[in-house]
């Protein structure tokens, strides 16, 4: 990690394996924290794939593929 970035503010990809336990301990696992993380993830996805000037089918296709995989797992849970 660069010295300017605190462990609390670091992204998961920037955390070393030895620091993973303390990084996870600093996360907010309350319902509000989990909803906030989901909201930030949705906004990041939306701005990257949906809300673009020159869009394609990539973002919509990923959502559709995720839905298909989930519905397959729910329908064939015995497999």
User: Over the stretch 6-46, which tens digit does the pLDDT of each residue have?
Assistant: 777 788 888 888 888 888 888 889 999 999 989 999 999 88
* H and E: helices and strands count for the chain: 3, 0
Write the DSSP string, 20-58.
Answer: HHHHHHTS--SHHHHHHHHHHHHHHHIIIIIS-SS--SH
How many Cα atoms sit within 13 Å of 24 on the Cβ side? 6
**What are the domain boundaries of the chain?**
7-75
DSSP state of 11: -
Read off the pLDDT band of 1 (50, 70, 90): low
Q: Model's pTM, two decimal places?
A: 0.56
Read off the pLDDT band of 3 (50, 70, 90): low
């Amino acid at each position: 990690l660069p010295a300017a970035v605190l462990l609390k503010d670091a992204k998961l990809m920037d955390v070393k394996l030895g620091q993973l336990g303390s990084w996870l301990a600093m996360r907010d696992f309350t319902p509000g924290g989990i909803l906030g993380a989901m909201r930030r993830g949705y906004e990041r996805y939306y701005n990257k794939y949906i809300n673009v000037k020159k869009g394609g089918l990539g973002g919509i296709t990923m959502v559709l593929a995720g839905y298909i995989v989930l519905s397959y797992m729910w329908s064939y849970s015995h497999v």
